[in-house]
Every structure is written in C-alpha cells, then in structure tokens.
C-alpha cells in the first residue's frame, strides 16, 4: 500500500481554487465567462482560470506546513507562466492569487516584485487581504 503524501496539499489547493473562483465570479459579475483549467498549447502552459476578455489567473495555495506561504518553486512556475504568456500575448492581464503576501525581503517577495516590474505579472492578489 502506497501513502499519498500530497493528498492534503492537493485538497488544500483544490479548496483554494474554489475560493478564487467564487471571488472572480463576484468581482466580474454574473455575466462573466470564466473558464477553468485553461490549456494554452501555443506556449505550453496551463492556467487555473481565464476570465474571457479580462484576465488570466494562476491560483497558488501556500503550503499548509509553511503557514500558507508560497514555496519558491511554486513562485518560479507562476512567474515563468506569466513570462511565457507575456512574450506571446503581451496584451493579456496575468494575475496570481496567493493565500498571503510573501515574507518581506525573502526570495519569493523579491521574485514577485521583479516579475511585476518586468511586466510578466500584472497583479498579485492575496486571499487573506480580500477575505476569501
């Protein structure tokens, strides 16, 4: 019998995505078309959500054992998706949802600031600040 060590993290991530989806529905209104698990084969990435005509979204739940903060490898992947999206579709807005802001002056904080400055990430939204 094999233990599924990622089961709790996967459940936590799925729950976070549902919270983000609810927030997107409230933010953009009932008429918004929101697609989930969006494949973008022209650049080889998948996004968690796309609000048609408005924004592309990645939802990054933090690790439960890390007080909800995002791991650096997750931050790098989210930023890489944004860079690829920006390179091919520079007009699309790319937003990353996190549970909470990165720890100040730590690597995730510095990476995110650089990605926003470079235009790879349009905006970061934090669930704890949005009460979602």
In a domain, 14, yes or no: no
Place of tokens 């233990």: 3
Which of 63, 35, 39 lies closest to 49 in space, CA to CA?
A: 35
Q: How far is CA 72 from each of CA 33, 63, 76, rounded to the nearest angstrom?
A: 31, 11, 6
pLDDT at 109 exceeding the cut of 70: yes
In a domain, 2, yes or no: no
The pLDDT value given to residue 63 = 67
In a domain, 71, yes or no: yes
pLDDT digits (tens, 9 = 90+) for 28-70: 998 999 999 999 999 999 999 999 999 999 999 876 656 556 7
Which of 99, 94, 97, 98 lies closest to 81 in space, CA to CA?
A: 94
For residues 11 and 4, the answer to whether their CB atoms sit within 8 Å is no
- Domain extent for 56: 30-130
With a CB cutoff of 8 Å and minimum separation 6, the contacts of 51 are: 24, 28, 32, 33, 34, 57
Q: pLDDT band at residue 13, thresholds of 50, 70 and 90?
A: confident
In a domain, 112, yes or no: yes
Report the CATH number that the domain containing residue 47 is assigned in CATH: 3.40.1350
In a domain, 17, yes or no: no
pLDDT digits (tens, 9 = 90+) for 120-130: 999 999 998 99
In a domain, 47, yes or no: yes
pLDDT at 97 exceeding the cut of 90: yes
Q: pLDDT band at residue 80, thresholds of 50, 70 and 90?
A: very high
Tally the domains of the chain. 1
Query: Full-prediction pTM beyond 0.85?
Result: yes
In a domain, 4, yes or no: no
d(CA 58, CA 43): 15
In a domain, 6, yes or no: no
pLDDT at 2 exceeding the cut of 60: no
The pLDDT value given to residue 4 = 61
């Amino acid at each position: 019998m094999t233990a599924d060590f990622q089961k709790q993290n996967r459940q936590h991530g799925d729950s976070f995505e549902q919270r983000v989806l609810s927030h997107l529905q409230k933010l953009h209104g009932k008429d918004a078309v929101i697609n989930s698990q969006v494949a973008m084969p022209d650049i080889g990435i998948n996004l968690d959500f796309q609000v048609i005509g408005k924004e592309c979204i990645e939802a990054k739940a933090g690790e439960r054992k890390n007080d909800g903060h995002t791991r650096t490898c997750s931050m790098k992947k989210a930023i890489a998706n944004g860079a690829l999206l920006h390179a091919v579709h520079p007009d699309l807005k790319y937003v990353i949802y996190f549970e909470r802001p990165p720890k100040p002056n730590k690597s995730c904080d510095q990476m995110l600031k650089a990605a926003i400055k470079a235009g790879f990430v349009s905006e970061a939204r934090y669930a704890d600040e949005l009460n979602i």
